[in-house]
């Protein structure tokens, strides 16, 4: 009994150590230098973006993939590897590049002379990334961007391969295309066709790209080791950009009925001052809902899984690990479903909004 517990405990520890988010242990946290386990920092370090890709820890030293830091500074474009910060996140290591000095504090890069820790901590969580007077514009290839590029390459590889097999094989699909074709047909027949109608063909590339990009990003986020584990779809900026793309496509494909519905709704003229603002707000709430839904679902799933793993370290006993593992397994399987479901919901709603914009009234 004891042996099993120890075994399960060490197994949980190995799994935990393999997870990139365990890097917090070696990143001294300002204000909390007592080395105690902090689940909040653990979870944040996973769901937050970072300038380096943490792979594992080896005898206290983090092994990371140094991603390039690309800054648009007052002296122009400045590029250096993120390893020059030596995993420092406290604003103490100063990096000199292009005649300027930079520090990194909690993954935000500042001009060394203008960095003010008190000002940073005083700013609201939402406001911290926008301290533009103190920091250069940051176009770094972060972990999220790296994951996004990885997913894009995978998609191009998979679908390029599938498309090639169609050139040779004119009969029933085989192999990879046999796996992908039902999904492509699902997007066409269950998402595009019923929601957009006859003009669906024009939007198929967009919907398919959205669906597979989000789905694969969701799945990649669930794999807990390098080079995966990047939390792309749980990043609100990513979902914002996706929602904005859907919004732009929607308003540019809107026909006269769509604009007529918004600008001159079918109500008495006296109600126009109320109705028109409501309709215009409605235009923006739809993509806003898209943005928040995907972000919240994926982030929530990641936080639950990480919290369950964190239980072992909060209770500081291996005895809890069977419970943790059972729940993490359950949540991971559920997240697999959520990954597909959220990609489906995002694509479905995008198709629905586009469908409303191109709908013909008779």
Look at residues 159, 302, 157 and name the one whose alpha carbon lies nearest to residue 229: 302
> Do 112 and 94 form a contact (C-beta atoms < 8 A)?
yes
Which residue number, 202 or 260, has a Cβ lying nearer to another protein?
Answer: 202
Residue 129 in contact with another protein, rule: CB under 8 A: yes
> Do 267 and 275 form a contact (C-beta atoms < 8 A)?
yes
User: What is the closest distance, in whole angstroms, from the C-beta atom of residue 271 to another protein in the complex?
Assistant: 37
User: What is the closest distance, in whole angstroms, from the C-beta atom of residue 131 to another protein in the complex?
Assistant: 10
Residue 49 in contact with another protein, rule: CB under 8 A: yes
Which residue number, 298 or 312, has a Cβ lying nearer to another protein?
Answer: 298
Residue 307 in contact with another protein, rule: CB under 8 A: no
Residue 47 in contact with another protein, rule: CB under 8 A: yes
Number of residues lying near another protein (CB under 8 A): 61
The residue within the footprint of another protein, chosen from 35, 60, 76, 160 (CB under 8 A), is 160
Tokens standing for residue 204: 């198929």
Which residue number, 14 or 137, has a Cβ lying nearer to another protein?
Answer: 137
Look at residues 291, 298, 300 and name the one whose alpha carbon lies nearest to residue 232: 298
Residue 123 in contact with another protein, rule: CB under 8 A: no
CA–CA gap between residue 92 and residue 79 (Å, rounded):
20
Residue 297 in contact with another protein, rule: CB under 8 A: no
Look at residues 76, 75, 95 and name the one whose alpha carbon lies nearest to residue 85: 95
Sequence-separated contacts (24+) of 298-302 with Cβ below 8 Å: 298/218, 298/221, 298/231, 298/233, 298/234, 298/338, 298/339, 298/342, 299/47, 299/231, 299/234, 301/234, 301/331, 301/334, 301/335, 301/338, 302/43, 302/46, 302/47, 302/221, 302/231, 302/234
Which residue number, 171 or 256, has a Cβ lying nearer to another protein?
Answer: 171
User: What is the closest distance, in whole angstroms, from the C-beta atom of residue 1 to another protein in the complex?
Assistant: 41
Sign of the dihedral through C-alpha 37, 61, 59, 2 = positive
The residue within the footprint of another protein, chosen from 137, 280, 281, 323 (CB under 8 A), is 137
Which residue number, 156 or 326, has a Cβ lying nearer to another protein?
Answer: 156
Q: Which residue stretch of 110-118, 122-130, 264-272, 338-346 sits at the interface with another protein (rule: CB under 8 A)?
A: 122-130
Tokens standing for residue 43: 């979870």
User: What is the closest distance, in whole angstroms, from the C-beta atom of residue 57 to another protein in the complex?
Assistant: 22
Contact mark string toward another protein, 205..244, x via CB under 8 A: xx-xx--xx-----------------x--xxxxx-xxx--
Residue 162 in contact with another protein, rule: CB under 8 A: yes
Q: Which residue stretch of 10-18, 78-86, 155-163, 352-360 sits at the interface with another protein (rule: CB under 8 A)?
A: 155-163
User: What is the closest distance, in whole angstroms, from the C-beta atom of residue 54 to another protein in the complex?
Assistant: 14
Tokens standing for residue 29: 């946290």
CA–CA gap between residue 84 and residue 93 (Å, rounded):
9
- One DSSP character per residue, 46-109 reads HHS--SEEEEEEETTEEEEEEPEEEEEETTEEEEEEGGGGTT--BS-S-EEETTEEEEEETTEE
Q: Which residue stretch of 6-14, 144-152, 272-280, 343-351 sits at the interface with another protein (rule: CB under 8 A)?
A: 144-152
**Overall residue count recorded for the chain in this entry:** 362
Subset of residues 261 to 290 that bind another protein, contact rule: CB under 8 A? none
User: What is the closest distance, in whole angstroms, from the C-beta atom of residue 359 to another protein in the complex?
Assistant: 23
- For the chain, the first-to-last Cα distance in angstroms comes to 74
In this structure, how many other beta carbons lie within 10 angstroms of the beta carbon of residue 201?
Answer: 11
- One DSSP character per residue, 231-253 reads --TT-HHHHHHHHHHHHHHHHHH
Q: Give the residues lining the site for another protein (CB under 8 A).
A: 44, 47-51, 70, 107-109, 125-126, 128-130, 137-142, 144-145, 148-149, 152, 155-156, 159-160, 162-163, 166-167, 170-171, 177, 180-181, 184-185, 188, 201, 204-206, 208-209, 212-213, 231, 234-238, 240-242, 245, 299
């Amino acid at each position: 009994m004891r042996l099993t517990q120890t075994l399960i405990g060490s197994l949980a520890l190995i799994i935990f150590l393999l997870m990139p988010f365990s890097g917090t242990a070696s990143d001294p946290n300002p204000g909390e230098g007592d080395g105690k386990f902090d689940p909040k920092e653990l979870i944040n370090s996973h769901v937050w973006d970072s300038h380096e890709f943490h792979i594992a820890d080896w005898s206290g030293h983090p092994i990371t993939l140094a991603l390039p830091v690309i800054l648009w500074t007052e002296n122009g474009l400045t590029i250096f590897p993120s390893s020059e910060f030596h995993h420092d996140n406290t604003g103490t290591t100063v990096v000199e590049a292009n005649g300027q000095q930079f520090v990194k504090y909690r993954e935000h890069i500042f001009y060394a002379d203008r960095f003010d820790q008190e000002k940073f901590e005083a700013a609201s969580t939402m406001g911290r990334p926008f301290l533009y007077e103190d920091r250069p514009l940051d176009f770094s290839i972060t972990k999220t961007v790296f994951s996004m590029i990885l997913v894009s390459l995978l998609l191009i590889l998979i679908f390029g391969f599938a498309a090639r097999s169609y050139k040779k094989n004119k009969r029933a699909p085989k192999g990879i295309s046999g796996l992908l074709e039902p999904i492509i047909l699902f997007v066409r027949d269950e998402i595009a066709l019923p929601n957009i109608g006859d003009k669906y063909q024009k939007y198929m590339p967009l919907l398919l790209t959205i669906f597979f990009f989000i789905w694969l990003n969701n799945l990649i986020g669930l794999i807990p080791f390098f080079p995966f584990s990047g939390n792309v779809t749980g990043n609100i900026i990513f979902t914002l950009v996706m929602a904005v793309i859907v919004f732009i496509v929607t308003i540019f494909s809107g026909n006269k009925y769509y604009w007529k519905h918004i600008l001159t709704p079918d109500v008495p003229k006296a109600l126009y001052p109320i109705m028109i603002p409501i309709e215009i707000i409605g235009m923006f709430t739809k993509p806003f809902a898209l943005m928040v839904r995907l972000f919240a679902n994926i982030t929530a799933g990641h936080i639950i899984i990480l919290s369950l793993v964190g239980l072992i370290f909060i209770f500081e006993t291996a005895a809890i690990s069977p419970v943790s593992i059972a729940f993490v397994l359950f949540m991971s399987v559920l997240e697999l479903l959520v990954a597909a479901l959220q990609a489906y919901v995002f694509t479905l709603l995008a198709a629905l909004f586009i469908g409303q914009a191109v709908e013909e009234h008779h």
